[in-house]
Amino acid sequence: MFDRRLLTHFDWFLLLLVLLIALLGITNLYSASSSWEGAATPVYLKQLFWLGLGLGVVLGLVIFDYRHLEYLGVGFYGVTSALLLFVLFFGKTSMGATRWIDLGFFNLQPSELMKIFVIIILARYFSLRGEIGGYGLRDLAAPFVLLGLPALMIMKQPDLGTALLVLFIGGTMILFAGLKRSAAIVLSVGGLLAAGGGWFLLHDYQKERIRTFLNPERDPLGSGYHIIQSKIAVGSGGLFGKGFMGGTQSQLSFLPERHTDFAFSVFAEEWGFAGSLILLGLYMLLILWGLYVARCAGDHFGMYLAVGVVAMLFWHIVVNLAMVIGLLPVVGVPLPLFSYGGTCMITTMTGIGLLLNVSMRRFMF
């Protein structure tokens, strides 16, 4: 079953790139949380633990041929949808949102799992349909349902950020599958209308965030506080930054959530534009490499899988960075491999595991 060729084809470059970014992230967390003296376990150590666990997930994933997922994925998708439904009714409520299932030792967040399973199920759908010279609206009915149902349930939790991410991931895969001209026009118009109509479906706090984003100075110490403080942190970093552990904004705790969603602000403040450029370059390399893996994939399923994972990483990176530097409203999307958090780390590493899997089996049927 195990082929020695798998080892020779293993994508060491991708793994090393991921590890490099993750270690940069942990170093950054060390600085971000250094002023929390007396904490039980330092955040950076916990993140190191999650990275280890994530590598375990990667190892577990690359052993099995990703092609098994084509069939298993349907079941996983079904179970996770059921879990999402379950969360809506019986989930654990925290800070006004119900997203978790309390498993005692661990809070399971099905919406995170859903990101992966949406990728798998859409990859299966498109690889089955094959190349049909552009998808029409009728052909897209099934993907829309597969995508829309979980997105709606996640939106209901309410977790707008994750719901939009799921839609973005699915949308990217649909775009890649190819649209008929008519379908493309209908979808763009429909999308614009939905964005307008969606405003009325938003919760008050979500509307508030968007208003604040459009004009943060409107409420500088209330909901605009995060954006302003983060911009000051990033901007005051200048060209070369204030040096490791030298960020006054982040060290003096003006910066909220600096170890999770705003981890990049700490980095940008301490390493300046030069550091930001390098980090963005690494992320860009990761994305391009992922697309390269898609291009070389051994079959359609693997190709779509790789595109889906790349889309997931890409939208996380772009949305988080845009939020941190004031280009998007605060929606609570973490920066993969950089923000502290077990769930995000595991989801990211699952994606990386799938990429590596597709990559190392590119010459096999």
- Sites of contact with other proteins (CB under 8 A): 35-40, 131, 133-134, 172, 175-176, 178, 221-222, 229, 231-239, 248-249, 251-254, 268, 272-273, 276-277, 280, 283-284, 287-288, 291, 294-298, 300, 303, 307, 310, 314, 318, 321-322, 325-327, 362-363, 365
Identify the H or E element spanning 221: none
Nearer of residues 10 and 292 to other proteins, judged by Cβ:
292
**Closest to other proteins by CB, 53 or 296:** 296
Compute the least distance from the CB of residue 249 to other proteins, in Å. Answer: 6
Q: Which is nearer to other proteins, 143 or 150 (CB)?
A: 143
Asked if residue 110 has a cis previous peptide bond (ω within 30° of 0), the answer is no
Q: What is the DSSP letter of 178?
A: -
Minimum CB separation from other proteins for residue 322, in Å? 7
Query: What amino acid is encoded at 13 in this protein?
Result: F
Nearest approach, Cβ of 363 to other proteins (angstroms)?
7
C-beta closer to other proteins: residue 84 or 123: 123
Q: In the bound complex, what is the minimum distance in angstroms from residue 40's beta carbon to other proteins?
A: 5
Residue 237 CB, nearest approach to other proteins (Å): 6
Give me the least distance between CB of 35 and other proteins, in Å please. 5
* 329, 323 contact by CB (below 8 A): yes
Cβ closer to other proteins: 18 or 84?
18
Cα–Cα distance between 160 and 169 in angstroms, integer?
Answer: 14
Residue 74 or 232: the one with the smaller Cβ distance to other proteins is 232
The closest alpha carbon to 246, from 272, 228, 264, belongs to 272
Distance CA 119, CA 354 (A): 11
Which lies closer to other proteins via its Cβ, residue 38 or residue 96?
38
In angstroms, what is the minimal distance from the CB of 238 to other proteins? 4
Radius of gyration of the chain (CA): 21
Q: Are strands 92-94 and 107-108 parallel, antiparallel or unpaired?
A: unpaired
Q: CB of residue 75 vs other proteins: minimum separation in angstroms?
A: 27
Nearer to other proteins, 14 or 325 (CB): 325
| Polymer length in residues for the chain | 365
Please tell me the distance from the alpha carbon of residue 145 to that of residue 138, in angstroms, as a whole number: 12
- The strand pairing partners of 108, in sequence order, are 101
Type of residue found at 322: A
Tell me the β-bridge partners of 98. Answer: 93
Burial class (CB in 10 A: 0-12, 13-18, 19+), 8: exposed
Q: Between residues 33 and 157, which has the closer beta carbon with respect to other proteins?
A: 33
User: Tokens representing 64?
Assistant: 């099995």
Shortest distance, CB of residue 273 to other proteins, whole angstroms? 4
Q: Is 101 exposed, middle or buried (0-12, 13-18, 19+ CB in 10 A)?
A: middle
- Output the DSSP codes for 122-170: HHHHHHHH---SSB-TTTTHHHHHHHHHHHHHHHHTT-HHHHHHHHHHH
